[in-house]
Amino acid sequence: MLYQDFFIHRTNTFKKSLELILENYKNKPINIVELGTTRSFLSGVLCYDSSYFNLYEPHNWDWGAGIFTKVFSDNLSKNRIEYKLYSVDPSVDAINVSKHICSDNNNIIYINDYSTNFLQNIDFKIDFLYMDHMESSEEACIQHLTDAKIIIENDLLSENGIILIDDVNYPDYINSKGKYSIPYFLENNFQLVIGEYQVILVKS
C-alpha cells in the first residue's frame, strides 16, 4: 500500500480498509464520503502555508492526522478502482490545503459544508464512510452520534457499507470521537472488524 511506512497507529486499519474496498468494489464504482478533510501541511501544528509541502517528501507530511484524502485517493487510483471521494469540511482553509495536496486527482469532490447538512441532503448511497470531523472531545463524540443517527435513520450506507472512524482508542475511548457513535452503530446492524486507534465497522 502506498505510504504504508508512515501510517503508524493507523497501519492495520488503513490496510484492512483498502483490502475491504478491493474485495467489494474491484469491478464496480464506489462512493466514498470523508467527513473532515486533510487540513494541514505539517504534523502537530495547523499549517496552511503550502511552501511547507513537498509532494516528493512524504515523510514530512501530516501523518499525525493520517492524510486519508491523499492516501486513499492515490491507492484507489493505483488499483484502478472507479470511485468518487466526497471530502466534506466547513473550513475553506482546510479544503484549500487538501486541494493542493491532492491537486493531481480528479476523483475528489470537495464540499464546503458541515457534516450534518451534507448527510441530510445527499441523494446517493455511501459505500465507504470515513468519520474524522472535529477535534477529539465530548462535543465531537456528540456530533458523531448525531451524524450516526442520520446515517441509520435514512439508511445512507449501501448493502456492504464500510465505516472507518478515526481517533477512537477502542475500547477505552480516551480522547475519542466514537464514544457514542460506535455503540450506536453496533446496536443497528453493524459489526466490528477492527477496534484500535481507529475502528472499522461493516454493515451486516
Q: What pTM was computed for the model? A: 0.97
198: closest CA among 180, 173, 189, 184? Answer: 173
Q: In what order do the strands lie in the sheet with 157-165?
A: 108-112, 83-89, 30-35, 126-131, 157-165, 199-203, 190-195
Give backbone dihedrals phi and psi of 171, rounded to 5 degrees, phi first.
-100, 10
* Grid cell listed for 119: 448527510
Q: Name which of 12, 18, 39, 9 is nearest 167 in CA terms.
A: 9
- Could you give the CA distance from residue 92 to residue 103 in angstroms, rounded to a whole number? 16
SS3 at position 47: coil
* Residues of the chain predicted below pLDDT 70: none
> How does strand 157-165 pair with strand 126-131?
parallel
Work out the end-to-end distance of the chain between its first and last CA atoms, rounded to an integer number of angstroms: 27
Exposure on the CB side of residue 189, measured as CA atoms within 13 A: 12
What pLDDT shows up at residue 65?
95
Domains and CATH numbers, the chain: 4-203 (3.40.50.150)
pLDDT digits (tens, 9 = 90+) for 5-26: 999 999 999 999 999 999 999 8
Neighbours of 104 (CB within 10 A): 10
